[in-house]
């Protein structure tokens, strides 16, 4: 399998995977080594581990997208958590943010189970796919601008492959909102520009061609512990996504 070692490799392999399909894309993303700082961090975390997970093997690699291959709903996050996705190998799986997100997805009819604990736990997304804008866990959950841009071709390839099926995309947090709109613009979609582009806040929406783009505050502990994001607020956005895509129950405002 080809392995990306720099930005040019990522562009070339991601571009080719748009013709090969999601399986090839997922495989090639999962062995990418194009960001030296993130490769070192993800592997250090996977070696040192958190005490509570000392007996578990860590994934310690990039996290590919996960879910329906022909989704109507796409959920976009920032990056995997060091002891969540970087441990379990599945996006939003095994950490507090994922607990919140999957509980809400289940309540609105987009996830089979209310929890997402580990790969192979029986969880299944319904008409929905998830991806992270940056595929490797960054220190302090903060990728650099260069790392964001280096990883962007992987996101572009995945969005391009699922776009024909999508009706709704949900960005979790301002980073994901900017990354998603930038990706759609690079793919030639009619993203509003300048003052016409809605600024990120919880509940904001943008119509991009036939795609409805929604925003929610990220279900990080920083937001959920402080009450900045409540279960009802997250359910409202994800419920709107489900209803707009013709999936799940329709939540009343
Ligand atoms: S962040 Fe993206 S581009 Fe950088 S090493 Fe990980 S998968 Fe590759």
In whole angstroms, what is the distance from residue 73 CA to residue 240 CA? 11
| pLDDT at res. 80 | 97
Task: From the CA of 79, give the closest atom in ligand 1.
Answer: 1
Of all residues in the chain, what percent carry a pLDDT higher than 90? 96
Which residue of 8, 31, 32, 60 sits with most ligand 1 atoms within 8 Å of its CB, as the best mutation to test the pocket? 32
- Give the count of beta carbons closer than 10 Å to the beta carbon of residue 163: 17
Count Cβ atoms within 10 A of the Cβ of residue 232 and give its class: 0-12 exposed, 13-18 middle, 19 or more buried: exposed
Please indicate whether residue 157 or residue 252 has the higher confidence score (pLDDT).
157
- Spell out the residues 6+ positions from residue 62 whose beta carbon is closer than 8 angstroms to its own: 29, 30, 31, 32, 42, 135, 136
- For 94-116, the DSSP string reads SSHHHHHHHHHHHHTTSBSSS--
- Give the count of beta carbons closer than 10 Å to the beta carbon of residue 145: 7
Residues 34-72 have pLDDT tens digits of: 999 999 999 999 999 999 999 999 999 999 999 999 999
Judge contact between 35 and 136, C-beta under 8 A. yes
Q: What is the pTM for the complete model shown?
A: 0.96
| pLDDT at res. 253 | 46
- Spell out the residues 6+ positions from residue 46 whose beta carbon is closer than 8 angstroms to its own: 58, 59, 60, 86, 87
Residues 101-116 have pLDDT tens digits of: 999 999 999 999 999 9
| pLDDT at res. 1 | 86
**Which tokens in the block code for residue 209?**
């061609």
- Spell out the residues 6+ positions from residue 24 whose beta carbon is closer than 8 angstroms to its own: 17
**Mean pLDDT, range 168-180, rounded to an integer:** 98
**Which tokens in the block code for residue 74?**
């796409």
Residues 177-201 have pLDDT tens digits of: 999 999 999 999 999 999 999 999 9
Which residue of 14, 41, 62 sits with most ligand 1 atoms within 8 Å of its CB, as the best mutation to test the pocket? 62
77 ligand 1 Cβ < 6 A = no
62 ligand 1 Cβ < 6 A = yes
In whole angstroms, what is the distance from residue 131 CA to residue 74 CA? 8
75 ligand 1 Cβ < 6 A = no
What's the CA-to-centroid distance between 50 and ligand 1, angstroms?
23
39 ligand 1 Cβ < 6 A = yes
**Shortest-distance Cα residue to atom 3 of ligand 1:** 151
């Amino acid at each position: 399998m080809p392995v990306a070692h720099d930005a040019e490799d990522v562009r070339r392999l991601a571009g080719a995977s748009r013709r090969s399909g999601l399986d090839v894309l997922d495989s090639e993303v999962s062995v990418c080594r194009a960001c030296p700082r993130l490769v070192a961090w993800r592997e250090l975390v996977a070696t040192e581990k958190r005490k509570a997970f000392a007996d578990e093997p860590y994934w310690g690699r990039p996290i590919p997208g996960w879910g329906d291959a022909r989704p109507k709903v796409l959920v976009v996050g920032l990056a995997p958590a060091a002891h969540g996705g970087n441990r379990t190998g599945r996006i939003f799986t095994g950490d507090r943010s994922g607990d919140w997100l999957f509980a809400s997805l289940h309540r609105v009819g987009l996830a089979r189970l209310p929890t997402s604990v580990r790969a192979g736990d029986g969880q299944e997304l319904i008409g929905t796919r998830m991806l992270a804008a940056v595929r490797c866990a960054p220190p302090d959950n903060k990728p650099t601008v260069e790392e964001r841009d280096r990883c962007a071709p992987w996101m572009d390839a995945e969005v391009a492959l699922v776009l024909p099926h999508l009706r709704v995309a949900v960005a979790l947090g301002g980073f994901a909102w900017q990354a998603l709109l930038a990706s759609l613009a690079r793919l030639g979609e009619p993203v509003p520009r300048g003052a016409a582009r809605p600024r990120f806040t919880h509940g904001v929406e943008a119509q991009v061609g036939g795609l409805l783009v929604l925003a929610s505050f990220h279900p990080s502990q920083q937001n959920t512990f402080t009450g900045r994001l409540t279960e009802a607020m997250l359910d409202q956005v994800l419920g709107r996504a489900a209803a707009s895509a013709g999936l799940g129950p329709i939540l009343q405002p």
